[in-house]
Amino acid sequence: MTQQASPANSSAASSFARVSLLIYLLLIIYASWYPFAGWRDIGLTAFAYISAPLPHYWTVFDVWTNIAGYLPLGMLMVLSLPRWRRWSPYWAVLLATLAGILISGTMEAVQTFLPTRVASNLDLMTNSSGALLGAVLGAILRPRFGPDSRLLQLREHWFNREASQGMVVVALWPLAQIYPLSHLFGFGQFTSMLSTWLSDLLEQPVDLQAWLTNDIQFSADQYWLTETIITACGLTGAALTFLIVLRQQAPKLPLTLLLVFLTLMTKILATALLFAPDNAFVWLTPGSFGGLLIGGLMLSGLAYAPQLAQRRLAGLTLAISLLLVNVMPDNPYYTETLQTWSQGKFLNFNGVAQFLALLWPFCTLWFLFHPMHQRRRRQPQRDPRQPPA
């Protein structure tokens, strides 16, 4: 039984890296081609930038940003490779580096047809360097994620079998806070983006929020109450999603409090860096503060509820938050602060953050209700110390 369990554990351990790799690749695509508008043909071939002279103007910030952006890609590629006994780490590094060069070259080639982007051979070289450094780092760290590592043993002790995808979703929750949101934890606001796209397509103003609410004017009390509900539901849904991947013996309360603390700290630091230190707490409105209190009270009563109830309530609260955030008007504090936001050099970074903020609730709902996870949940977990029947 022990010899048969090791390969399974090895495969389960690598699934986290594979899911992370897929999501990170999507983030790179979104960041490289954001804002996906104004496509045009300037008379150059897609790969003409490779033989062009090196850019005359570049900064150290640009170089290090490109290296840091592709470093996780190379590392995740190495960690995602099958654990073959004869798989040489040198071949793993080579394969991951070549894949990083191919991905970066494709991203730059498509930027040739975007007016807000400039295809650059310097970016290709720095991105490829980042993929190489990440691949080397992945090869060094790979043995530490083996079936006998203490990290994997801790993962098996605290998290259940379906936790690979769930941990990725939960880990993205604090990162999704970086993008400025109209409401705290109010992810998935796609009506504003669709309104902009439809306005450009139809060449006339389109306001989906006004259409959905039938131009209803919300009073201050109604707005405050709705913002409280959005924050409370967003907090409850994310925390319950985290709780359902934990085993009974895991320290659920400390881990959940740590997750919420890291999320709020990320929000504070991101707001202070993207805007100004004076605006670090601009998101903490009376409605969001009330939502934090109500969400905390809800979690105190649901933390040890049956897992099936936690799963369904997590989906319900996230669906309520998703619905309300797409019909409610923007937070006036958010609108005023957003006017001072200059994206500048952070265009790629902000594109990634917007992508996370938009898709996070949909990824979480997929995890909560996908049939694959439902089947895993129904399978009883046998104690490995007991002999098979």
As a whole number of angstroms, the distance between CA 115 and CA 119 comes to 10
- The domain boundary, picked from 124, 155, 186, lies at 155
Shared-domain flag, residues 347 and 305: yes
Kindly report whether the peptide bond that precedes residue 35 is cis, defined as omega within 30 degrees of 0.
yes
- Mean pLDDT value across the chain: 78
Q: Which of 201-210, 230-239, 329-338, 357-366 has the highest mean pLDDT?
A: 230-239
- Write out pLDDT tens, residues 139-176: 888 777 655 566 667 777 788 766 667 888 888 898 88
Is pLDDT of 382 > 50?
A: no
Amino acid 97: pLDDT: 94
**Domain stops at, among 155, 180, 203:** 155
- Residues 6 or more apart in contact with residue 139 via CB below 8 angstroms: 78, 89, 92, 93
Size of the chain, expressed as the number of residues it contains: 389
Higher pLDDT, 154 or 292: 292
Question: Does 359 share its domain with 233?
Answer: yes
pLDDT of 200 strictly over 80: no
Structure token digits, residue 140:
């060094």
pTM (two decimals): 0.65
Closest Cα to residue 367, out of 165, 136, 206?
A: 165
Contact 376, 55 (CB under 8 A): no
The pLDDT-based confidence of 347 (bands split at 50, 70, 90) is low
Measured CA to CA, the distance from residue 357 to residue 63 in angstroms comes to 26
Residue 372 lies in a domain: yes
Residues 256, 334 within the same domain? yes
Q: Are residues 129 and 173 in the same domain?
A: no
Q: What CA–CA distance (Å, rounded) separates 86 from 92?
A: 11
Does residue 330 sit within a domain?
A: yes
Terminal Cα-to-Cα distance of the chain (whole angstroms): 13
> Cα(180)–Cα(313) distance, rounded to whole angstroms?
26
CA angle 291, 293, 294 (to 5 degrees): 65
Q: How far apart are CA 245 and CA 171, in angstroms?
A: 12
Q: What's the number of domains the chain is made of?
A: 2
Percent of the chain exceeding pLDDT 70 equals: 74
Residue 387 lies in a domain: no
Nearest to 331 by CA among 192, 173, 178: 192
For residue 124, give Cα distances in angstroms to 21, 102, 104, 159, 257: 20, 9, 6, 39, 41
Joined tokens for residue 21: 């790799």
Q: Which of 104, 129, 155 is the last residue of a domain?
A: 155
Among 97, 86, 84, CA closest to 138: 97
Provide the domain limits for residue 261: 161-378
